[in-house]
A and B are shown apart, each in its own frame.
Chain A
Amino acid sequence: EDQVTQSPEALRLQEGESSSLNCSYTVSGLRGLFWYRQDPGKGPEFLFTLYSAGEEKEKERLKATLTKKESFLHITAPKPEDSATYLCAVNGGATNKLIFGTGTLLAIQP
């Protein structure tokens, strides 16, 4: 069964304390892996798309990486404004629908 699992469910960091969020997936024929940021009461905001193992993308303090079984979202020296839920989703398998993980709630304390 196609599945996406994110860990941890919640993460609290001090400002400036770097860490990584994990997204593990099982899907045959990955067409794309997507990272979104979602603030409370708002729609998901697109961050990155990754297509093949070994691919990396960066934006400000965020860096996304991809292997054949998982993706990491690395956050370097986070600030309080990076606090949000980070969603991972994949497009693959028999359908072209997005399969979402349940997200990681990230809180950055000043």
Chain B
Amino acid sequence: DAMVIQNPRYQVTQFGKPVTLSCSQTLNHNVMYWYQQKSSQAPKLLFHYYDKDFNNEADTPDNFQSRRPNTSFCFLDIRSPGLGDAAMYLCATSRDPDRGETQYFGPGTRLLVL
């Protein structure tokens, strides 16, 4: 089945130690998104790639970076994780958001910062 895959499902890191989360998709969608979701809150958009074009949200900390080496893969890099970065990180894809097409989410990666 076509889908959005995230690895790992759980990630434990130390305060200040860089970490990378990965996302892959078999939907061949143009757009890939990264969201941060904290307990009992709605997902918060960090940034997205429309094909190769990177779009950062104004309030996303510089500590968060992203790479999209090809259509299928996208990575979230957290350069120096702080305790406040512990959260669920969600990857999503969409074919054409300008036409209101659906975003499909992956299962998420739960990040714990010690």
Contacts and interface: CB of A to CB of B under 8 A. Distances in A.
A101 to B, nearest CB: 7
A46 B42 contact: no
Contacts of B84: none
Interface string A1-43: 0000000000000000000000000000011101010000111
Nearest to A51: B100
Say which size band chain A's interface belongs to. 20 to 34
Interface in A76-103: 87, 89, 91-92, 96-98, 100-103
28 contacts: A31-B99, A32-B100, A34-B102, A34-B103, A36-B105, A41-B88, A42-B107, A42-B108, A43-B4, A43-B88, A43-B105, A43-B107, A43-B108, A44-B105, A45-B105, A46-B103, A49-B100, A49-B101, A51-B100, A87-B42, A89-B103, A91-B97, A91-B100, A96-B97, A97-B97, A98-B45, A100-B43, A102-B42
Interface of A: 30-32, 34, 36, 41-46, 49, 51, 87, 89, 91-92, 96-98, 100-103
